[in-house]
Amino acid sequence: MSHTIHPTAVISPKAKIGDGVTIGPFCVLEGDVTLGDNCYLASHVVIGNRHGVVKVGRNNTFEAGAAVGGPPQDLSYKGEPTQLIIGDHNTFREFVTVNCATAKQSGITRIGNHCLIMAYSHIAHDCELGDHVVIANSNQLAGHVTLEDHVKTGGMCGFNQFCRVGKYSFVAGDSAVNKDILPFTISQGKYAVMRACNSIGLDRAGFAKEDIESINRAIRIVTKGGGTVEQSLARIEAECKPSENIQYFVNSIKNSSRGLAI
């Protein structure tokens, strides 16, 4: 097994390092850390902590100053061996911070595959990111936030704890999110509200024109229809052609725990 480790790096005896890994100057691997094949750590990267478990998949890049897998910033945490699990092909830019979970729920902070986390962003304990998520500079995610697949955000956004942002949605820059964002939407504001269908994003993702039109109708019923949530659901059932995407949208409404950002 071959890898390149700079002589100034500090490597925990518990660390497991895959083939083709590069660890640059002044990096630190602390505690129980696993790095998959072909990961790249630029310089001054810190991964892990003395209590938790950090598992990193293949082909991940950590740029200078990233601090990934630190203990949760939660007063209830008492040093339990909670986890951070990262998939494959992710990029963590300069000074990104990601925390291990608390012991309150699954004990796992999870990041999927093919995500880009831009500089100065923070992902707190017990967060879950799906695949192909793009977080722009200086976003701040509180604990237990979920970003589903293909979510994209502008810079300087903040997310309150336990918020869920649905798949293929876009949160515009400088927004503050304190309620759930439904899939396929564009949201913006302080506090953010859903303003439109993410039609351009869906088109770029290969959605069929008729599917985009149906999704747009469902979103307009919720955001512009003026009815209660129950009335909106009844209208969607009556007016929108049934499909997997419409059912997913409806289920997201029904399963919202924080309330909807309307």
SS3 for 59? coil
126 lies in the same domain as 222: no
Residue 125 falls in the annotated catalytic set: yes
- 128, amino acid identity: E
Please provide the DSSP assignment of 195-224 as one string.
EEE-HHHHHHTT--HHHHHHHHHHHHHHHH
Strand partners, 241: none
44 lies in the same domain as 117: yes
- Look at residue 137 in the predicted model and tell me its pLDDT: 98
97 lies in the same domain as 207: no
User: What would the pLDDT profile of 7-23 be if each residue is shown by its tens digit?
Assistant: 999 999 999 999 999 99
Burial of 255 (0-12, 13-18, 19+ CB in 10 A): exposed
**Residue 73, domain CATH:** 2.160.10.10
Residue 1 binned pLDDT confidence (cut-offs 50, 70, 90) = low
- Which residue out of 36, 44, 65, 126 is catalytically annotated? 126
Please state whether the predicted TM-score (pTM) of the whole model is above 0.85: yes
137 lies in the same domain as 30: yes
**Residue 157 forms part of a structural domain:** no
- Which residue out of 143, 158, 166, 201 is catalytically annotated? 143
State mean pLDDT over 176-205: 98
State mean pLDDT over 163-192: 98
**Residue 197 forms part of a structural domain:** no
26 lies in the same domain as 139: yes
207 lies in the same domain as 113: no
Domain boundary pick from 119, 144, 169: 144
Q: Which two tokens stand for residue 25?
A: 């100057």
Query: What is the C-alpha separation between 134 and 157, in angstroms, rounded?
Result: 12
- 159, amino acid identity: F
- Which residue out of 44, 125, 132, 150 is catalytically annotated? 125
Domain boundary pick from 122, 144, 166: 144
Residue 70 falls in the annotated catalytic set: no
**Residue 152 forms part of a structural domain:** no
SS3 for 247? helix
**Residue 262 forms part of a structural domain:** no
**Residue 91 forms part of a structural domain:** yes
User: What would the pLDDT profile of 27-46 be if each residue is shown by its tens digit?
Assistant: 999 999 999 999 999 999 99
Can you give the length of the chain in residues? 262
Terminal CA-CA length for the chain = 54
**Residue 171 forms part of a structural domain:** no
Q: Which domain holds residue 27?
A: 4-144
109 lies in the same domain as 236: no
Domain boundary pick from 144, 170, 190: 144
User: What would the pLDDT profile of 67-124 be if each residue is shown by its tens digit?
Assistant: 999 999 999 999 999 999 999 999 999 999 999 999 999 999 999 999 999 999 999 9
**Residue 169 forms part of a structural domain:** no
Q: What percentage of the chain reaches a pLDDT higher than 90?
A: 99
59 lies in the same domain as 128: yes
**Residue 100 forms part of a structural domain:** yes
How many domains does the chain divide into? 2
State mean pLDDT over 202-219: 97
CA-closest candidate to residue 163, choices 23, 40, 259, 58 = 259
107 lies in the same domain as 217: no
113 lies in the same domain as 238: no
44 lies in the same domain as 139: yes
**Residue 240, domain CATH:** 1.20.1180.10
136 lies in the same domain as 208: no
Angle between helices 229-239 and 209-224 (to 10 degrees): 150
Helices (H) and strands (E) in the chain, counts: 4, 26
State mean pLDDT over 148-175: 98
